[in-house]
Amino acid sequence: MIQLVAPYDRTKTMANLLNPGPSELRTGYTDADAHYFQRRTLRRYAGVWSLWALGVGAVISGHFSGWNLALDEAGWGGMFIATCLIALMYLGLTFSIAEMSPALPHTGGAYSFARTAMGPWGGFITGLAENVEYVLVPATIVFFIGSYMTGIAGTPDSWQPLWWVVSYMIFVGLNVTGVELSFRITVVVTLLALGCLIVFWISALVNMDFSRYAMNVGAGGVHLPEGNGPFLPGGIEGIFLAMPFAVWLFLAVEQLPLAAEESHAPEKDMPRGILAAIFTLMFSAFMIVWLNPSVSGVGSHALAASGEPLLDALRAMYGSGIATTLALVAVLGLIASFHSIIFAKGRQIYSLSRAGYFPTALSLTHGRNQTPHVAMIAGSLLALTVMGVLWFSLGAEQAGVAIGGTLLQMSVFAAMFSYICQAISFIRLRQKFPDLHRPWRSPFGVAGAVIVLLIGAVTLVFQLRDPVYRTGVLGVALWFAAGILYFALVGRHSLVRSPEEEFALKLQHTASQQTKDNRS
């Protein structure tokens, strides 16, 4: 078994030390003193259920809306099969992450996995993809929060940006206050959101007609008033077109490893929390896909154009007289995800900054609360800037399409890219470091990662075929170009031996030394 002891000279460059490939040769490291890391300290708090709530809470808003927009092209059967395929992909992904995270228990998460497996450039590109996701997903969510609150409070549409700013101020503030409060709020809002879903499932079971309403889409997306339509009105292609939308039922569950340095026992708790979260989400996802279109008076055809499918079903069952209460229920799901992903965004930016990939000032933590407040504030300001530019340059109506559509598409595309990178990282770690201590091993092994690669690649291809999605892909390309330009000109010359970097370098050095010893 590889032991991470490293009798190496820290004054040497990594190229001289390890004699690695070109990726390492183009990067340089600087030593950081104890003061540097003292100003970048996190505090441990989370246990299994806190991690479970973080994973479920990050995703749960996708069970309230977003997944349903392909029902007219795919029909219920196409949506169901797409959900099965995407669930299989996430199962492979989470089992792979559950193995990698306790073996590499650092805040970097996906960046840390890719850095160890593929070098600094691989780590940076993977981290940059996650950065797109974690900055823009909360922006999309807060846009919908603003839309709901505009209707609930009766404020003018022009005030929507104020709702965004207020929401960010409240939930960034709560996350900055301390990891203990952050996780407690995460547990509470996640349980409340799940409670709302459970009430819906029970209500729908006695107010449903599956054959008439869920199956009311015909070939070409036509409405069949009497239902009993074909299982796959969009054929096999409809399944593939629905896959990017099915992602919304699971998007962001992969963020749990970002809490590794704030978990009491990541070696034990991280796999349990990740697996508990994915199985909870799989059950909830299939209940929603089955019951939401089946509610009498709703149906798959109507839901395909709905921005609030769960709310539409609740109105059909309970009437519009309690619309305000029902809207607050929907906001609860959005808040759960918004709060959880702000937590993840802060840790993701913090880890890349602490290692020098992003400007190191972004990784400073709060002196008393020991939370990455600079990273959370900076990421939120970036998101608000993007939203503000779109809102004031395009006008309310077109900006709504851009924020609620294009930014979401950018997030999904970047997430798929990061999943492919994490699957490659898993395979390379198994191949390069077979003796690495792994407190938990995925029973799916390399096969699980290959499933992620295949399904992720297919999803990306069908995203690119959709003209609407191409706009989002262009946005991701511009984000990547700016990030890569910064890293090429600045970041790669001043990397810091953070815990993620130290682990990767020691592991490579030890493995290289063992190889030389075996040859001699």
Q: What pLDDT digit, counting tens, does each position of 37-61 carry? A: 999 999 999 999 999 999 999 999 9
Rounded CA gap, 8 and 502, in Å? Answer: 11
pLDDT: is 159 or 401 the higher one? 159
- Reported pTM: 0.91
Residue 325: the pLDDT is 82
pLDDT at 113 over 90: yes
Residue 32: the pLDDT is 85
pLDDT at 519 over 80: no
pLDDT at 120 over 70: yes
Reference 478, options 403, 386, 393; nearest CA is 386
pLDDT at 91 over 90: yes
Residue 148: the pLDDT is 86
DSSP 466: S
Rounded CA gap, 341 and 136, in Å? Answer: 10
Region 160-188: mean pLDDT is 95
Residue 510: the pLDDT is 81
Region 299-323: mean pLDDT is 88
φ and ψ of 215, to 5 deg: -105, 40
Q: Tokens for 234?
A: 């969009």
Neighbours of 222 (CB within 10 A): 12
Q: What is the pLDDT of residues 356-412, one digit of tens each?
A: 999 999 999 999 999 999 999 999 999 999 999 989 988 877 887 778 778 888 888
Helix (H/G/I), strand (E/B), else coil: 263: strand
Q: What is the pLDDT of residues 198-216, one digit of tens each?
A: 999 999 999 999 999 999 9
Banded model confidence at residue 2, pLDDT cuts 50, 70, 90: very low
Residue 153: the pLDDT is 86
Residue 508: the pLDDT is 85
Residue 364: the pLDDT is 97
pLDDT at 15 over 70: no
Q: What is the pLDDT of residues 60-78, one digit of tens each?
A: 999 998 899 889 999 999 9
pLDDT at 466 over 50: yes
Residue 520: the pLDDT is 66
pLDDT at 307 over 60: yes
On average, the pLDDT of the chain sits at: 90
pLDDT at 7 over 50: no
Q: Tokens for 27?
A: 């990067």
With a CB cutoff of 8 Å and minimum separation 6, the contacts of 276 are 48, 52, 55
Residue 30: the pLDDT is 83
Residue 468: the pLDDT is 66
Banded model confidence at residue 464, pLDDT cuts 50, 70, 90: confident
Q: Percentage of the chain with pLDDT > 70?
A: 94
Banded model confidence at residue 26, pLDDT cuts 50, 70, 90: low
| E strand intervals along 252-381 | none
Which of 245-276 are b and which e, b meaning 16 or more Cβ less than 10 Å from the residue's Cβ? bbbbbbbbbbbbbbbbbbbeebbebbbbbbbb
Domains of the chain in start order, with CATH, are 45-479 (1.20.1740.10)
pLDDT at 21 over 70: no
* CA angle (156, 162, 168) in 5-degree steps: 145
Region 218-225: mean pLDDT is 94
